[in-house]
Amino acid sequence: MAIFEGAGVALVTPFYADGTVNYDKLEELLEEQIAGGTDAVISCGTTGESSTMSHEEHLDVVRFTCQKVKGRIPVIAGTGSNSTSEAVHLSVEAQKAGADGLLLVTPYYNKATQKGLIAHYTEIAKAVTIPILLYHIPGRTGVTMTPETMVTLCRDVPNIVGIKEASGNFSAIAKIMHLADGCVDLYSGNDDQIVPLMSLGGKGVISVLSNVAPAQTHEICASYLRGDVKKSMEMQLEALPLIDALFCEVNPIPVKAALNLMGKEAGPLRLPLTEMEPGHQEILAKAMKNYGIL
């Protein structure tokens, strides 16, 4: 059984002005997501600025998230690293904290071979018992995982169950699903490609858009899953201008700006990320107004 079907939110981590984690706001955001119909929460992924957190902060946020969600929806913890031993440590501790699953980005910078990727993921999977999603985003990591490697891992390692695919390469994605023969739970890592990816057998999306439009993102997936492809497609297309605005600067710069525009007090970003350029913020605000969320 899949960890979840539908829209999982890649949740931001709200900070105070001094850069420390704002746990009061984090709890508010979690409650709003659950109330909005979000199907899973992804804690400490890219959107959550995990790359600028210490291991202690990272695990504290995962623990807090699990405690507040209390099993109402699955919590998937981002625990990837370019160091296998660090990823093992984070993954083991996230399981202890109560996470329902793990999201493991390909090990960036090192540029492992396909053999190295298989060894890396297998080592992490041996250390835990909860299900694992691979996270393929070569534009950020500089590492391309082949369809054959992904399917080998999902087929041969019992608790590696699926993939968050953010390459945008639909020829490769189709090959994954051709080779998989049902052993891969596939999720879109790109909000502008939810419906196309679900048409190839995807289970849903791990979404940035859900931070600001949880009900709508949930419904894009829910409509597709209940067979109303036309409605799903129409909602996907309607959201495109907002999605474009949410990615006009590197994620999570725009989505934090959007939440702040909505009065959600997500706070600042941690360096090296900087606040959104004024011109881009105008584009974002216009898109939000046109979409009816501002």
For the question of residue 164 being annotated catalytic, the response is: yes
Torsion of CA 250, 254, 256, 262, to 10 degrees: -170
193 contacts 240 by C-beta, under 8 angstroms: no
212 contacts 259 by C-beta, under 8 angstroms: yes
Closest by Cα among 2, 74, 13 to 38: 74
Helix (H) or strand (E) holding 93: helix 84-97
Phi and psi angles of residue 7, each rounded to the nearest 5 degrees, phi first: -110, 115
What is the rounded distance in angstroms from the CA atom of residue 258 to the CA atom of residue 266? 9
Phi and psi angles of residue 39, each rounded to the nearest 5 degrees, phi first: -90, -15
Closest by Cα among 48, 35, 36, 28 to 94: 48
Other CB atoms within a 10 A radius of the CB of residue 11 amount to 27
What is the rounded distance in angstroms from the CA atom of residue 155 to the CA atom of residue 49? 31
**Helical spans, DSSP H, in 36-161:** 55-69, 84-97, 114-126, 138-141, 147-156
- Out of 25, 68, 164, 256, the active site residue is 164
Closest by Cα among 123, 70, 122 to 100: 70
253 contacts 274 by C-beta, under 8 angstroms: yes
- Out of 25, 68, 121, 135, the active site residue is 135
- Which residues are annotated as catalytic? 135, 164
